[in-house]
Structure 1
């Protein structure tokens, strides 16, 4: 069954990586586009409620501070920390995520994110939230987790991880131009069959999905690329550029 809902998958950029934008002092256009998907904001003062999920970074306090600063004045923010569930003050994970307008998933270890989400049932709660109309966005590990598989450095060197949530088709590779060996290794994983055909995104680029279908690729910096990477039938892979809209 196709997963209902709206998902933004960021290869890099957003509030996490202002350095990739032409003007790092301005709010992220990718984050602005995510907020624009909220038709009826539920936050105080008519702003969206946005919850940050920093599981992949071990619930890094510094990452949470960057999130609060990135959305200050334009969203009612909260952080869902699986290492500090007492912060929910008696609410369940499901209740908390269903009360949001946007859930934003941070980067870090994709493998650790998936393991902890499944242990706590957050993967199921987020499926329910998506079906109920909550917009989901994620960067790096927060991009990888929604696909069937991904290229990850969760175990040290870049490696294929064919254990995603499968809400989106194929595999994923973030930071395609921003980290050494990303491009070569992802092509090798896809070409060998270790990962299915997938999507590679430069820093500052995102894919906008609705009900499991790709709507468009967008970038917050000139020249940002989105590519479809497929096996070539001879043990290698080919890259097919997608049209990318500059925000």
Structure 2
């Protein structure tokens, strides 16, 4: 069952794919909070709490938010954080990396339960790449080296996910094959620089920072995966 609340799934983009840290999708995320100076927490679990990733987030969101980084590893830059701090946020932003590792570590630390409570209280959940995959029931991932289907998501959103749809070789072709064969349930694909806004498990809209980047619903028909492109609103 889909989780009540707003979730934004980025196929790629945001501050982590911007040369100067600026991002129209990130601006939209802040707008969705409805706060003049929102509390935003970045969760870089999938990258092993990369210090560089955390610093790039802080630079991109400095001055307009109360920004923080949730660390489940603890390192030279960030002490271990109690996941309960996520309940104090207006926006939770999950970074990319290994989807499989993210899910395993989150479950050990009780993060999914906290995220479910935060979403129900009105906190915006968002993420790109692995941070897109995690919310769905299943996904396309390179967590184990070669691209492979993963049926181990949180299930906050229905079906499967495929980020970087055209941005990485093989993503589109394999996703279509897996849905056609039943290796993955029907789902949604988002290219780099695009995002899907969900509310209570239903799509509100698809958006893009660039006009030529697609978002698609992918269904199964006669043993094949079939794409249906969604309307995409170009931001800014």
How does the TM-score come out when normalised to structure 2?
A: 0.95
Structure 2 match to 1:197: 186
Structure 1 match to 2:158: 169
Counterparts of 2:103 and 2:173 in 1: how far apart (Å)? Answer: 25
Residue 244 of structure 1: which of 227, 232, 236 is its match?
232
Q: Which secondary structure state, in structure 2, belongs to the residue aligned with residue 170 of structure 1? A: strand
Moved over 4 A (4+): none
In the TM superposition, what are the counterparts of 1:128-207 in structure 2 within 5 Å? 128-207=117-196
Counterparts of 1:214 and 1:236 in 2: how far apart (Å)? Answer: 24
For residue 25 of structure 1, report the CA deviation from its aligned partner: 3.8
CA RMSD of aligned residues (A): 1.5
CA pair 71-161 structure 1, distance change in 2 beyond 3 A: same
Counterparts of 1:116 and 1:162 in 2: how far apart (Å)? Answer: 16
Contact 2:21 2:56 in 1 (8 A): no
Structure 2 unaligned spans of 5+: none
Counterparts of 2:138 and 2:124 in 1: how far apart (Å)? Answer: 21
Contact 2:2 2:158 in 1 (8 A): no
How does the TM-score come out when normalised to structure 1?
A: 0.91
Q: Which secondary structure state, in structure 2, belongs to the residue aligned with residue 136 of structure 1? A: strand
Structure 2 match to 1:87: 79
Query: Does 1:230 find its partner at 2:216?
Result: no
For residue 113 of structure 1, report the CA deviation from its aligned partner: 0.4
Q: Which secondary structure state, in structure 1, belongs to the residue aligned with residue 26 of structure 2? A: helix
Aligned length: 233
Of Structure 1 and Structure 2, the greater strand share is in 2
Structure 2 match to 1:76: 66
Structure 1 match to 2:27: 32
Counterparts of 1:191 and 1:13 in 2: how far apart (Å)? Answer: 28
Residue 51 of structure 1: which of 16, 38, 41 is its match?
41
Counterparts of 2:172 and 2:129 in 1: how far apart (Å)? Answer: 15
Residue 100 of structure 2: which of 101, 108, 111 is its match?
111
Counterparts of 2:46 and 2:57 in 1: how far apart (Å)? Answer: 14
Counterparts of 1:36 and 1:71 in 2: how far apart (Å)? Answer: 13
For residue 74 of structure 1, report the CA deviation from its aligned partner: 1.2
Counterparts of 1:80 and 1:153 in 2: how far apart (Å)? Answer: 24
Contact 2:197 2:205 in 1 (8 A): yes
